[in-house]
Chain A
Amino acid sequence: DTEVTQTPKHLVMGMTNKKSLKCEQHMGHRAMYWYKQKAKKPPELMFVYSYEKLSINESVPSRFSPECPNSSLLNLHLHALQPEDSALYLCASSQFHSLPADTQYFGPGTRLTVL
């Protein structure tokens, strides 16, 4: 099973709302990633978790708060977002977070609209 699942598929939220995105994998991978993808642009790395610990934060604003409660789950908590945060949010996992970069498996993404 090489599947990464993400919920919800679509999310619409106001600027004062708090919401969470969820990502799950059951491949035994120990590294998980969040990417943001704006329309017609390539994905951009946001966060990397390795063995449930945050190892990379690509200078992401604090209104995005990642959480890795266990090795299979990755959450992205959203609070006080701006309309420009509207994008496709992609989760990925890999066996390890290593040098050189390991093959990553992506979920289908959550399409977020901030009103």
Chain B
Amino acid sequence: DAKTTQPPSMDCAEGRAANLPCNHSTISGNEYVYWYRQIHSQGPQYIIHGLKNNETNEMASLIITEDRKSSTLILPHATLRDTAVYYCIITRDDKIIFGKGTRLHILP
């Protein structure tokens, strides 16, 4: 079973920052937080991952709370192409187990 809780859907206006929350209160010390997204009818796409520190790459930023029980994925300037299902994943052993994800709608 997935060990993460995400809102089932969210809306964000085009050009604004999209902040996607994820709760993972049972995370263990050596488990990473991964984010993937899946645009309709495509394969999942890796976005970012982190252990303790905040991370940033060309796609997004990942903010992990100090107790590591929750995190937020930030897409700084959302576009219509960011409409997708976003999966927050806590790696379990050597597998990634997808939960239900958040369906993000970008509104023009």
Contact = CB atoms under 8 A, between A and B. Distances in A.
Interface of A: 4, 42-45, 48, 56, 88, 90, 92, 97-101, 103-109, 111
Given A45-B97, A97-B94, A98-B94, A103 B49 contact: yes
Interface string B74-105: 00000000000001000111111111110000
A76 to B, nearest CB: 15
Given A43-B98, A100-B32, A101-B94, A90 B44 contact: yes
Interface of B: 2, 30-32, 34, 41-46, 49, 87, 91-101
Contact of B94 (A44, A92, A99): A99
18 contacts: A42-B100, A42-B101, A43-B98, A45-B95, A45-B97, A48-B95, A90-B44, A99-B30, A100-B30, A101-B32, A101-B34, A101-B92, A101-B95, A101-B96, A104-B96, A108-B42, A108-B43, A109-B42
A13 to B, nearest CB: 20
Nearest to A2: B46
B45 A56 contact: no
Contact of B43 (A97, A99, A100, A106): A106
Contacts of B31: 100
A99 B93 contact: yes
Contacts of A103: 34, 46, 49
A106 B95 contact: no
Contact of B95 (A4, A56, A88): A56
A100 B101 contact: no
A105 B94 contact: no
